[in-house]
With several copies, the nearest count.
Chain A
């Protein structure tokens, strides 16, 4: 048991922090916000290719580095500290995982290979209008058509969906219900019958798209794995992505705390730095309690995932629920403690606040994830010895 980063992990973190501090600046994020492009292409090229992060969690067999969840959350945490406008999360934590869990060897070799090489950005089109994050609620459909498939439906809230090279579309067999009949389709480029619209998002640092599919014909090889068998893979993907997003939230929350502490040490009112007033000190202290605990939740969950146990869903929900609340609270408190300057466009506080808001509901809000934990509790037999990793609870 060693619940601290290894030297190699420390290196990854340090180099990520250094690189992002230099390149993923507020100025560049604001430039992207003002532009028509969805992300900072130079930054993405740097990240994916030079830094090699796109290869980080791709298995070695497909040209990646084969690192684990701990390494992914390290990168995501650092990414969250900055407002990096790049489809790293969409590519590595959403689409890449979906391919990994559901693709056949050829598909993995091709798609993951290109992802690892930094040649392919990607996202997952899962949610739909008036839908949440339950697999059962997918309405988009596929049907067999000769050797290929025909897709129909509307996908919404697809992060970086208009700007990535590859889209993984979740759809169900026409007439199927529940978790039956679900498939994932890998689409590159815009196909006939496919309409993609950029949505106006409150958080401008991570764009969303709506994808409309109107009798879109795709080849047989576009379907990842065997048709109708994607439920487990989708479930795992959403869990991994939720945990990765939670890590990003920890980074964001930490940045809110750091910036606030810096500010309240300098800002003087009533003849004292406002950081000497308990109302301010104690709010900062509470932020730190939550941030450190959120971080523990993420690291703990990442270790569990790397163990490959059946606790994935529970620990992912734990991390996502806790970190969503933590980030939102810290980002809100950061504004409050910055006073008037905190509500201005010029100051970055609102960018973090909006990111916190967006990631709070994305992949399920805290109440949704706590309910998932509650289901696990209900199913848990307290009289059985569940000792794992010497684990409490």
Chain B
């Protein structure tokens, strides 16, 4: 057991760090530290251009096979990349739902044709993705999906026709494609009869309405499918296997990108430490305890990730992977509260009228959503108890 990187890894680190320092300058200097969770629309066009720039230089999806635009990177290299990206102030990735979720899902479950069609544009930063899982009545309860789809003859052969509504679809307003869990077998319930479709968003029959959130920004959307269409072959896995594929997608949320997320957290924590130093609260014994707690827990978050990733590389299922979501979400929410308590009354005051809040204020507010989306803390505890500890499932109601 050790935490050292090999000399080859350190060489790779130098290469990555050098590339970022050379490229996050000039035209791209202004996107540094921009965007990211809670602030996804900030400088979107510029960040999208940066995504393409990374793609052109082969840095977009380094974990992927070379033939699809990746670099076959090892786990250590992925860790190094994620950390260096965040350390260099790399902006929130506009393509992250494609890079982290759609791409790996297609790699794991897709056909060769799908891989050839969809992976290179993701790697190139040319096509952005969004995720169509939740519905108004299927938030925590994904098995309750009601959006339906069926095959019809269309202009270009057989096509899926989609009817229904998705919600909490992050970045849909910017995305080209959406992976959509639909019910394709009439009369089925629960996990059965679902299919995982890839649907182009730029078409009649798709209506995207941003949802304004408590920060004042809109990062999520409602997406209405009203006769939307996609080609028959745009189903990942067999029709009816959508549940299995969707669960696979959720598992990919725990990849090496978690290290990058933690570096963003680190940047936030550093900023808060500096604020506490400036306003003197660093001397407050209660604030000190909380800062220490946040600091320790962030180091532990990283250690948790490294344990989980080490096992993942050996293709072991790590029960500790199941704790990741609730751990980071709760940590982040507490960080936001700590920031506000350090600033006290001053924490109320935003940047500009009418309602422009500063970055850490947005962390405070948006982190309330962290413990809700992608499985509430309550759902996470169910998952941990049932899958890791083997406790009995809750009886399902009949209503």
- Judged by CB atoms under 8 Å, the answer to whether A and B touch is yes
Interface set of A (CB-CB < 8 Å, partner B): 1-6, 9, 70, 127, 129-130, 132, 156-157, 198-204, 208, 257, 261, 264-265, 268-282, 284-286, 288-289, 292-293, 296-297, 299-300, 302-304, 306-307, 315, 318, 321-322, 332, 335-336, 339-340, 342-346, 350, 353-354, 357-358, 361-362, 365, 367, 370-371, 373-374, 377-378, 380, 382, 387, 389-393
Q: Is the CB of A340 within 8 A of B167?
A: yes
Give every chain B residue within 8 A of A393 (Cβ-Cβ): 266, 269, 295, 298-299, 302
Give every chain B residue within 8 A of A390 (Cβ-Cβ): 3, 5, 13, 79-80, 83
Q: Is the CB of A361 within 8 A of B341?
A: yes
Q: Could you write out 24 A-B pairs with CB less than 8 Å apart?
A: A129-B346, A132-B344, A198-B353, A265-B390, A271-B398, A273-B397, A273-B399, A284-B384, A285-B381, A285-B389, A293-B297, A299-B1, A303-B3, A304-B3, A307-B3, A315-B299, A322-B297, A340-B372, A345-B213, A370-B296, A378-B282, A391-B3, A392-B83, A392-B266
In the complex, how many angstroms separate the beta carbon of B302 from the nearest chain A beta carbon? 4
Nearest residue (CB) in B for A347 is B214
Give every chain A residue within 8 A of B232 (Cβ-Cβ): none
Cα-based distance from A244 to B175 in the complex (angstroms): 50
Q: Is the CB of B381 within 8 A of A391?
A: no
Cα-based distance from A275 to B364 in the complex (angstroms): 27
Cα-based distance from A344 to B369 in the complex (angstroms): 9
Report, nearest first, the 6 A-B pairs whose CB atoms are least far apart: A272-B397, A350-B214, A271-B397, A296-B303, A281-B385, A374-B288
Give every chain A residue within 8 A of B213 (Cβ-Cβ): 343-345
Most chain A CB within 10 A, of B6, B79, B384, B396, is at: B384
Give every chain B residue within 8 A of A296 (Cβ-Cβ): 300, 303-304, 306-307, 320
Contact of A365 among B274, B344, B357 (CB under 8 A): B344
Q: Is the CB of B5 within 8 A of A336?
A: no
In the complex, how many angstroms separate the beta carbon of B278 from the nearest chain A beta carbon? 10
Which residues of chain B (372-397) have a CB below 8 Å from chain A?
372-373, 376-378, 380-382, 384-386, 388-397
Give every chain B residue within 8 A of A271 (Cβ-Cβ): 396-399
Q: Is the CB of B2 within 8 A of A2?
A: yes
In the complex, how many angstroms separate the beta carbon of A307 from the nearest chain B beta carbon? 7
Most chain A CB within 10 A, of B259, B266, B306, B352, is at: B306
In the complex, how many angstroms separate the beta carbon of A190 from the nearest chain B beta carbon? 20
Nearest residue (CB) in A for B84 is A390
Give every chain B residue within 8 A of A346 (Cβ-Cβ): 212
Q: Is the CB of A284 within 8 A of B389?
A: yes
In the complex, how many angstroms separate the beta carbon of A297 from the nearest chain B beta carbon? 5
Q: Is the CB of A340 within 8 A of B134?
A: yes
Q: Is the CB of B310 within 8 A of A2?
A: yes
In the complex, how many angstroms separate the beta carbon of A296 from the nearest chain B beta carbon? 4
Cα-based distance from A268 to B396 in the complex (angstroms): 11
Q: Is the CB of A200 within 8 A of B349?
A: yes
Interface range, B side? 35 or more
B15 adjacent to chain A (CB < 8 Å): no
In the complex, how many angstroms separate the beta carbon of A159 from the nearest chain B beta carbon? 10
- Contact A3 B372, CB 8 Å, known A269-B140, A336-B377, A389-B3: no
B361 adjacent to chain A (CB < 8 Å): yes
Cα-based distance from A201 to B348 in the complex (angstroms): 5
Give every chain A residue within 8 A of B291 (Cβ-Cβ): 374, 377
Contact of A4 among B5, B314, B365, B390 (CB under 8 A): B314
- Contact A373 B292, CB 8 Å, known A303-B3, A392-B298: yes
Nearest residue (CB) in B for A257 is B389
Give every chain A residue within 8 A of B344 (Cβ-Cβ): 132, 361, 365
In the complex, how many angstroms separate the beta carbon of B399 from the nearest chain A beta carbon? 6
Which residues of chain B (323-380) have a CB below 8 Å from chain A?
323, 326-327, 340-341, 344-357, 361, 364-366, 368-369, 371-373, 376-378, 380
Q: Is the CB of B385 within 8 A of A373?
A: no
B156 adjacent to chain A (CB < 8 Å): no
Q: Is the CB of A288 within 8 A of B394?
A: no
Give every chain A residue within 8 A of B396 (Cβ-Cβ): 270-272
Q: Is the CB of B348 within 8 A of A208?
A: yes
Q: Is the CB of B349 within 8 A of A201?
A: yes
Most chain B CB within 10 A, of A132, A279, A302, is at: A279
Contact of A289 among B285, B292, B384 (CB under 8 A): B384
B22 adjacent to chain A (CB < 8 Å): no
Give every chain A residue within 8 A of B369 (Cβ-Cβ): 340, 343
In the complex, how many angstroms separate the beta carbon of B150 from the nearest chain A beta carbon? 25
Identify 7 new A-B residue pairs, CB closer than 8 A, beyond the known A1-B4, A157-B346.
A9-B1, A200-B352, A261-B389, A261-B391, A303-B2, A318-B296, A393-B298
Q: Is the CB of B373 within 8 A of A340?
A: yes
B263 adjacent to chain A (CB < 8 Å): yes
Cα-based distance from A274 to B348 in the complex (angstroms): 33
Cα-based distance from A292 to B6 in the complex (angstroms): 27
Q: Is the CB of A322 within 8 A of B289?
A: no
Q: Is the CB of B216 within 8 A of A345?
A: yes
- Contact A370 B299, CB 8 Å, known A4-B311, A200-B353: no
Give every chain A residue within 8 A of B211 (Cβ-Cβ): 344-345
Cα-based distance from A303 to B349 in the complex (angstroms): 35
Q: Is the CB of B306 within 8 A of A3?
A: yes
In the complex, how many angstroms separate the beta carbon of A260 from the nearest chain B beta carbon? 9
